[in-house]
Structure 1
Amino acid sequence: MRLSLVTILVLLSVSSVFAQTTPKLEDIAAIKGQCGCHDVNFLYAETFAPEKTYTFKDRYTAKGTEWVFVEEETGPTSRPNKIVIQHLLVVSDSMVIKHWREDWLYQNTSLLKFDQNASWKRTQLSAAQVKGQWTQKVFEVDDSPRYEGSATWIHADGRDYWESTADAPLPRREYTKRTDYNVMRRTNHHEIRPDGYIHEQDNDKIIRSEAGDQLLASEKGLNTYKRTDEKKCQAAKDWWAKNRAYWANVRAVWNEILPNRDAVAIKGQVKGSVLSRELDELAVSSQKTTYDSATSRQLIRQTIEKFLK
């Protein structure tokens, strides 16, 4: 059977669209493939230091149970351009900690790049630079910025992974104990597996000054997320049901503040208090009264702006 020229052109057009959209659908499936109730192992070890006199720090290990879930999607139903994933740490049936958050944005051109000392500078990428890429925006427990990186999801040889390098503040396991460096340059590798996923890291601990960047030490990190019985995360699901509206307002306020700033700097303390503690206290107080979203946002904004330089 001979096909007309019009039919051939239509088939080529459909084929082209399919070729363009299929990778994005694979990306979305991989991003959402991080979700579920997981038993998590956190492992870190310093591996190299340029100075012979450097004393390597002890290896860090920890375990936990974490619920990872899609909290928000923006864009077409089947092909969202933004996917918000929240992590909740289950300490016990009666104790849940709001952990980190990651926003995935498709072909995003505006990123906050960490500088040093709780400060970030906005950087713009061209549309050509981010074509087909996803930005992972990582946020602290109080939804303040942490680090952002853009890269392409790779689906090849039976593997699905994303890898990007970005400067970041010191992680909690470090900044409470040491002050000998002020920037962590993280190469993050997220790879989806049938039973969960791994977050592999190759990190450089950088001393940043006016003279430039100096490497203090390098480390290897491996966080393994293995799916477990969903019942182990029931406490997290119950906790989120009670606190979801409040933290949605916190995200909304940050989303109003951050895009309008070319630079962001956050004060470590205000009158002896830190931002995360004040937002947590506000969350607790919101449970004791009839929840009013407008009032909540106003109080959240006042709290956040108090900590902005």
Structure 2
Amino acid sequence: MNRLTKTLFASGIAALALAGAPAPALADGPIVQTAEAAKAAFEEDRQTILAMAGDFKVTFDMQESTPWLEGYAPLERKISGGYESVRVIEDTGARIVLQHLLVTGDEANPYVVKHWRQDWEFQPEKILAFTGGDTWELTAVPEKMRAGRWSQTVYQVDDSPRYAGWGEWETTQGIRRWRSNWTARPLARRDAIRNPVYDHYMGINRHQLTPNGWIHWQDNTKMVTPKDGGEAAPVVQEYVLNTYERFNGYNVAAAETYWAKTKGYWDAVREKWEAVAEANGGIRIAQEASAGTTIANELMLLADAIKDGKQTPEAASAKALALIEEGTSRKGG
């Protein structure tokens, strides 16, 4: 277990501890409910998660704000947007999987990208947590913090892991929201391609329902790990607000067609990543700034080949599974 893992999960703290600041208490204590209240809360939680599915116009609003490192100049605010169809691809009761499909191009010539995926699990015993560099480890959730809570694990476009956290769905000030624990994350491509001074994020994620959709709010501290292996230090604060507004005035049919043609392929890819994690206690795979994993582009192109009728799902799946096996079987991995 590396230094980042120990800091995160042995202490149950994260960013402030890594920054050398006084360690805060856990934001929430154990949840104690009657059996009837627990059942009602579970059903309400499920409906809240399922409410994030649908068709949306999305706005991505990112801003570096407070510099913590002397001499660092925060980046300019960046606002972008797009259209996403979010589909429930698995619902077993205590586990819900939402797949995001990004639709670009115009109405006549749409292009669909299998975007990020979010897996929700009730009362998880462990999560697939980022622990630095190119490594994710299956890490125990503190036992007293499991009851009544849900984990959210986010995956990249090729279904490789990105980050995971756990927290409670609750209603405060009339707003339904979920807040994660402190969560470690690798750099997003928008940052990684710039070769910045920081090398990972420590953040808190919030999901909140709105009258016309939902928001994903990220409170990120961008951190740098010293080359000598000492404690990581904060560089700059970043606030990200992703707003999902219900809207179907785009080529929703393109997303439906893409998923209908490639679903079996992505099912096989997802199952392979899960098998690797279970067999190895996590996943280790080389990363590249422009794509995420070094095999991401190849996995995406295989899906496009299926969509375009240039590959059968069976042949493409076989190639994809071989790529994952090879990419996660490096010496020392």
Deviation at 1:53, TM superposition (A): 1.1
SS of 1:111's equivalent? strand
CA separation of 1:254 and 1:176: change in aligned 2, threshold 3 A: same
Partner of 2:117: 101
Does the Cα contact within 8 Å between 2:38 and 2:148 map onto a contact in 1? Answer: no
Partner of 1:303: 323
Does the Cα contact within 8 Å between 1:249 and 1:296 map onto a contact in 2? Answer: no
After superposition, residues 1-309 of structure 1 pair within 5 angstroms as 16-74=34-92, 80-92=93-105, 93=107, 94-164=110-180, 165-209=182-226, 210-229=229-248, 232-268=251-287, 274-286=294-306, 287-292=309-314, 296-308=316-328, 309=330
1:88 aligned partner, one-letter code: L
Bigger CA radius of gyration: 1
Instruction: Determine the C-alpha separation between the residues in 1 that align with 2:70 and 2:313.
Output: 58
1:280 aligned partner, one-letter code: M
SS of 1:28's equivalent? helix
1:288 aligned partner, one-letter code: K
CA deviations 1:169-189 (Å, max 9, x no partner) are 111211122331111112111
CA deviations 1:189-214 (Å, max 9, x no partner) are 10011200011111000012311110
Instruction: Determine the C-alpha separation between the residues in 2 that align with 1:17 and 1:288.
Output: 54
Stretches of structure 1 lacking an aligned partner (at least 5 in a row):
1-14, 75-79
Instruction: Determine the C-alpha separation between the residues in 1 that align with 2:137 and 2:43.
Output: 31
CA separation of 1:114 and 1:289: change in aligned 2, threshold 3 A: closer
1:104 aligned partner, one-letter code: W
Does the Cα contact within 8 Å between 1:135 and 1:148 map onto a contact in 2? Answer: yes
Identity level (%): 32
Instruction: Determine the C-alpha separation between the residues in 1 that align with 2:130 and 2:281.
Output: 12
Deviation at 1:263, TM superposition (A): 4.0
Deviation at 1:67, TM superposition (A): 0.8
Deviation at 1:290, TM superposition (A): 4.4
Stretches of structure 2 lacking an aligned partner (at least 5 in a row):
1-32
TM-score normalized by structure 2?
0.80
Give the number of aligned pairs. 286
CA deviations 1:252-292 (Å, max 9, x no partner) are 111211122224221136xx993111112322344434443
Greater shift in the superposed pair: 80-89 or 178-187: 178-187
Does the Cα contact within 8 Å between 1:112 and 1:120 map onto a contact in 2? Answer: yes
SS of 1:86's equivalent? strand
TM-score normalized by structure 1?
0.86
Instruction: Determine the C-alpha separation between the residues in 2 that align with 1:285 and 1:128.
Output: 47
Partner of 1:4: none
1:249 aligned partner, one-letter code: A
Does the Cα contact within 8 Å between 2:262 and 2:313 map onto a contact in 1? Answer: no
Partner of 1:77: none
Greater shift in the superposed pair: 182-191 or 151-160: 151-160
CA-atom RMSD, angstroms? 2.1
